[in-house]
Amino acid sequence: KNQVEQSPQSLIILEGKNCTLQCNYTVSPFSNLRWYKQDTGRGPVSLTIMTFSENTKSNGRYTATLDADTKQSSLHITASQLSDSASYICVVSPSNDYKLSFGAGTTVTVRA
């Protein structure tokens, strides 16, 4: 069964600090890996999308990395802001069907 596991489940950081979120997946074969940001009660918004051949992708203060050999990805948030408080979801797209496999998300709380 295709699975996406994220850690930690939640974390609290001070404004201006950095943090790194982890994602492990078993989806295979896989086409691409995405990180989404979801504010409470809103739809997910795409941050990055990486194919299996890409190692890193940045979007402003967000940098995602991918190791397709170990099936691990990380999302690094630099110089966090209060508006970064949200759930960050790792999503893996299999190459043989249309279903996206979602992780449970990491809830990030940024405090002043």
Partner 1 sequence: EPEVTQTPSHQVTQMGQEVILRCVPISNHLYFYWYRQILGQKVEFLVSFYNNEISEKSEIFDDQFSVERPDGSNFTLKIRSTKLEDSAMYFCASSEVSDTEAFFGQGTRLTVV
Measure the CA–CA gap between 51 and 85, rounded to whole angstroms.
27
When the beta carbons of 1 and 112 are compared against partner 1, the nearer one is 1
Residue ranges in 46-85 that form contacts with partner 1 under rule CB under 8 A? 46, 49
Measure the CA–CA gap between 74 and 6, rounded to whole angstroms.
9
Q: Choose which of 17, 28, 42, 52 interacts with partner 1 (CB under 8 A).
A: 42
- The answer to whether 45 contacts partner 1 (rule: CB under 8 A) is yes
- The answer to whether 11 contacts partner 1 (rule: CB under 8 A) is no
- The answer to whether 105 contacts partner 1 (rule: CB under 8 A) is yes
Length of the chain: 112
Residues that bind partner 1 in the complex, under the rule CB under 8 A: 31-32, 34, 36, 41-46, 49, 89, 93, 95, 97-105
